[in-house]
């Protein structure tokens, strides 16, 4: 953590970059400009810092190519863990999908002035479809399943839903990157119907977004981050309700 000359009106920065030289140079420049800077080598390290409360950043500077958890998946995790603006940094142009999922992009090398111009300039976030307090699974559907089936059978159903969601996410990532609106719509329809039958409410609502907003791929890229979160919540519910 660096904080020499920290100015409290400037946002705290969480810098994620696996390149040591880039990380040190960027951190030093921003620190001398007055930012409090925390650094992480990987996305996993950054998420651990956020979970532990080590840093509450106003902005996350995230290298576009990181080892381990990276890309749109990491952006989704960061959004779930923090309210910070997420700015991509890279020495080359990232994919449109990745840029669309973040709040901004800065080409290396950049300076404090470039960061200041980028902050707050991104388009407003679309309204989230799911909230933390939304039920992951319809309690009435779950109760009906438990009346009709054994616990192991119910667990198998939701395990199949989780597996299917992971597969659908991969297909959605490709369809959004390839700008295939019809495929996004088809996948969204399948998610809406399948998850709706299983009572997986959050995922089903997001499926409806992909189906109805397939021609708005920026919205779909943002909804994909929520689908990652919804799937993770379903996995946690499965572990809690149906321990192996």
> Do β-strands 59-63 and 13-16 pair in parallel, antiparallel, or remain unpaired?
parallel
Domains of the chain by start residue, with CATH: 13-118 (3.40.50.2300), 139-241 (1.20.120.160)
pLDDT of 117: 79
User: What is the rounded distance in angstroms from the CA atom of residue 4 to the CA atom of residue 187?
Assistant: 50
pLDDT of 215: 82
State whether residue 97 is helix, strand or coil: helix
Phi, psi of 59 (to 5 degrees): -145, 140
Cα→Cα distances 236→75, 137, 185, 199, Å: 20, 11, 28, 15
Helix axis angle, 71-81 to 43-52, nearest 10°: 10
Q: Tens digits of per-residue pLDDT, 71-125?
A: 888 998 998 888 888 999 988 888 888 888 888 888 888 887 888 777 755 444 4
Cα→Cα distances 108→44, 94, 152, Å: 22, 12, 52
What's the residue count for the chain? 244
The predicted model gives 30-57 an average pLDDT of 90
Which uninterrupted H or E stretch holds 46?
A: helix 43-52
Cβ atoms within 10 Å, residue 223? 26
**Cα angle, residue 32 at apex, residues 109 and 101 outer, rounded to 5°:** 45
State whether residue 88 is helix, strand or coil: strand
The predicted model gives 144-165 an average pLDDT of 95
Rounded to two decimals, what is the model's pTM? 0.52
Whether the pLDDT of residue 4 is over 90: the answer is no
Whether the pLDDT of residue 170 is over 80: the answer is yes
Of 118-127, 172-181, 184-193, 235-244, give the lowest mean pLDDT range: 118-127
Whether the pLDDT of residue 1 is over 70: the answer is no
Whether the pLDDT of residue 3 is over 60: the answer is no
Q: Tens digits of per-residue pLDDT, 191-222?
A: 999 999 999 999 999 999 999 988 877 678 88
The predicted model gives 6-11 an average pLDDT of 58
């Amino acid at each position: 953590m660096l904080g020499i000359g920290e100015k409290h009106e400037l946002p705290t920065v969480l810098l994620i970059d696996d390149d040591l030289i880039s990380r040190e140079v960027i951190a030093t420049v921003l620190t001398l400009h007055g930012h409090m800077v925390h650094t992480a080598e990987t996305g996993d390290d950054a998420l651990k810092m956020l979970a532990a409360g080590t840093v509450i950043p106003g902005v996350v500077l995230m290298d576009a190519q990181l080892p381990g958890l990276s890309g749109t998946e990491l952006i989704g995790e960061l959004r779930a863990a923090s309210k910070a603006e997420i700015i991509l940094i890279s020495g080359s142009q990232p994919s449109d999908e990745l840029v669309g999922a973040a709040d901004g992009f800065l080409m290396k090398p950049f300076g404090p002035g470039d960061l200041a111009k980028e902050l707050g300039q991104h388009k407003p976030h679309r309204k989230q479809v799911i909230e933390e307090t939304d039920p992951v699974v319809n309690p009435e559907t779950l109760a009906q399943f438990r009346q009709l089936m054994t616990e192991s059978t119910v667990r198998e159903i939701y395990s199949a839903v989780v597996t299917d969601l992971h597969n659908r996410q991969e297909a959605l990532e490709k369809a959004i990157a390839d700008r295939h609106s019809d495929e996004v719509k088809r996948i969204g329809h399948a998610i809406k119907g399948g998850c709706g039958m299983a009572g997986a409410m959050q995922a089903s609502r997001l499926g409806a977004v992909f189906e109805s907003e397939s021609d708005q791929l920026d919205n779909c890229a943002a909804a994909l981050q929520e689908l990652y979160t919804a799937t993770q919540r379903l996995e946690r519910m499965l572990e809690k309700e149906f321990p192996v």
